[in-house]
Chain A
Amino acid sequence: MEKIATILLAGGLGCFALSIAVEAVLPITHLSRIPYKKLEEIAPEASEDFKDLARRYPAEFKQYYGEASGESFRAALRLGRDMYIAEACWHCHSQFVRPVSNEDARFGKVSYAGEYMNEMFLPHLFGTRRVGPDLIRESGRHANDWHVAHLYDPTIVVPSSVMPRYTWFFDGEVPNKKGMAVITYVQWLGSWATPEVIAREEKANAEAK
């Protein structure tokens, strides 16, 4: 128990390997039964919010993204997620709804493993702190113009907000390429589990029965 070989092999490698096997490899293997999807599969077409940005800021949008196509939409989503990571949005906004503490009443459907098995959650952005609300059900909660005002100066729309201003997402008062990308990304979060989508799926299921 006090020899260098025992300490390095059993204590160092052995215990570490055991923890990886039980707490990582096992759940990962379990979860890998859910197929992994590329962004092309889950976001084939531009969202309504993305098209709305194209209508609101036609000149700027055309300059940054051209047409509001599936391809430009996915480029915006990827850039938006990069900005979300660069600004550490995930340190104050979590991305999973827990089945406790009335979170389903506040945010929406409880998170499930399948919704994270795609390119946009590599790396995952679960987060461990909520200074602001969870964002995994954010899609459709606010209009684009709310997000524009909120990113420019959060206290305009939420006076007690402690969120920083992100003025570098703007040229003057118009969101720039990064700003439009962040809004597109946040508006996309949970678009697969809005109350409307869930109601539609439930109806379809009931009819199938």
Chain B
Amino acid sequence: MTTAAIPQADAGPLVDRPIVKAHIIAGFSFFFLSLFAGLFYALQLSQLYPFPGVELMSPGRFRMVHTNAIAYGFLLNNFMAALSWIVPRLTGQPVLSRKLSRVIFVAWQLIIGLAMVGIIGGKAQAIEWGETPTFVDPLVVVGAALLVANVATPILRIRARKLYVTLWYFGAMMVWMPLTYVMGNFVPQYFVPGAGGAAVTGLYIHDLVGLTVTPLGWGMMYYFVPVILKKPVWSHTLSLVGFWGLAFFYPLNGVHHFFYSPIPMYAQYGAVMSTIAVEIVVFTVIVNFFVTLRGKGDMLRTSLPIRWFYTGMVMYFITCLQCAFQTTLTFQRLIHFTDWVVAHAHLVMFGVFSFWIIGMVVHLWPKLTGFAWWSERLNHLNYWFSTIGLLVMFLDLTIAGIVQGYLWQNLAPWERSLTASMPFWHLRSIAGLLIISGQLLQAYNMWMTARGHAPASAPAAGEPVAAAG
């Protein structure tokens, strides 16, 4: 079996540590904004909304804050931290400019802040996952272009004949992200109405997850997992299959968000086929990572980052397996428009990518602050709170979706689907509270760690490779 060791440059002076830390802190701030916005929206569905009839606290607007803060505020900020940490190490080159990193950091927070204010103020755009007001869209494009210039430069500078897997994903993402954003936020808004516009929106919804978040996430995994396990990824060939399979099939999936709509059927059939193809490719990636773990399985217990990462991979596998079924037109009749889809979205955005990011933070935070974790116990508590909270929410909403689907199909009065959903919606709010509690513990632990209450020399359980980084 061919393997590729990770090229490790002496990264001490190459990595801009303060900017990594700043992105993580900003990311977690938006995380809490998103979590509470989600909770408020959930309380509305439980008929328990605490601020009824207040325009600037409208649950509909908070729903958009919830999704946009998680995608652009939490995930992208933390991915920028990952890029700033990983790319200089893999290339042996610094980013284009540290000053530019700071400009990007400030600009990005202002852009997301402006987007949040715009959405709350009633200026949202009607593009799912792109509700950033139309006047913010050009700024996002500029911000993305600056980020690409800053991080792509070290990748383009090295003259290596072969790049490490992580850099394939990061490199391709830097092409996909700006194209995806421009396509999704401008084409259906100004140029293509109706069903054609919906086809483009479908591509945008899917490409934002599939071509921006997913390659960043897997790029992170291909870096952090071998570094922490201290062994190379099992099969280089399988990682090639995984990357090229994603690049080819994933972008073709988009229309599966609008099955049975007036979008021409051949586009819908194409989306069914390519979605099922993606799941086969995903299986190769999962196999690769689990075989890599062989002989090191004990680290699921001893290393918390590894446990976060592999739990996320299991969730990813469940997400994708589920997707292969739910993308068929047979399933779509029943589950489309229901909470089943909401459960699916939470499984992938929280259960996979947020888990990976929390795992990364558990791994990096002691290196960034110079102090071991203030409390290992709180880190473990968040793992269990988040995992249990997510699984409860996922199963709860999945079942709710099936109930809603059958009630609609059987032509029960609409109100019947609401009263039937109510217990599920209550339980969802409780699961959400559990997840939020876990993150509060995590944030408190991060704060106490940064204050340096524990001695730096104390070896931390989640940190077997403090020197190799």
Contacts and interface: CB of A to CB of B under 8 A. Distances in A.
A92 to B, nearest CB: 7
B264 A101 contact: no
A124 B192 CA distance: 9
B330 to A, nearest CB: 10
A46 interface: no
Nearest to A106: B411
A58 interface: no
Contact of A15 (B127, B251, B270, B419): B251
B340 to A, nearest CB: 10
A2 B162 CA distance: 5
B44 A31 contact: no
Given A96-B262, A102-B409, A88 B60 contact: yes
B203 A20 contact: yes
A120 to B, nearest CB: 8
A11 B243 contact: yes
Interface string B397-412: 0000000010011110
Contact of B261 (A18, A98, A130, A132): A98
Interface string A87-107: 111111010101111110110
Nearest to A19: B251
B262 A111 contact: yes
B260 A23 contact: no
Interface residues of A, number: 74
Nearest to A111: B262
Contacts of B167: 4
A86 B133 CA distance: 10
Contacts of B60: 87-89, 91-92, 164
Which secondary structure dominates where chain B touches chain A?
helix
Nearest to B329: A100
Contacts of B123: 86
Which of B49, B55, B126 has the most chain A CB within a 10 Å cutoff? Answer: B126
Given A88-B60, A96-B262, A129-B342, A116 B194 contact: yes
A98 B193 contact: no
B337 A128 contact: yes
Contacts of A2: 161-163, 168, 240
B126 A8 contact: no
Contacts of A208: none
A8 B152 CA distance: 11
Contacts of B419: 160
Interface in A94-142: 94, 96, 98-103, 105-106, 111-113, 115-119, 121-126, 128-133
A101 B194 contact: no
A32 interface: yes
A164 B49 contact: yes
Contact of B193 (A20, A36, A99): A36
B260 A128 contact: no
Interface stretch (B172-180, B227-235, B309-317, B348-356): B172-180
A7 B64 CA distance: 34
Nearest to A134: B337
Given A86-B122, A88-B60, A113-B262, 17 more contacts: A8-B175, A12-B171, A23-B267, A85-B124, A86-B61, A86-B124, A98-B259, A101-B408, A116-B194, A122-B194, A124-B188, A124-B198, A126-B261, A130-B408, A160-B418, A164-B53, A167-B53
21 contacts: A4-B156, A10-B247, A11-B243, A11-B244, A16-B251, A20-B183, A24-B196, A27-B196, A27-B255, A28-B196, A87-B60, A91-B64, A100-B333, A101-B409, A102-B410, A111-B262, A121-B194, A124-B194, A126-B261, A162-B47, A164-B58
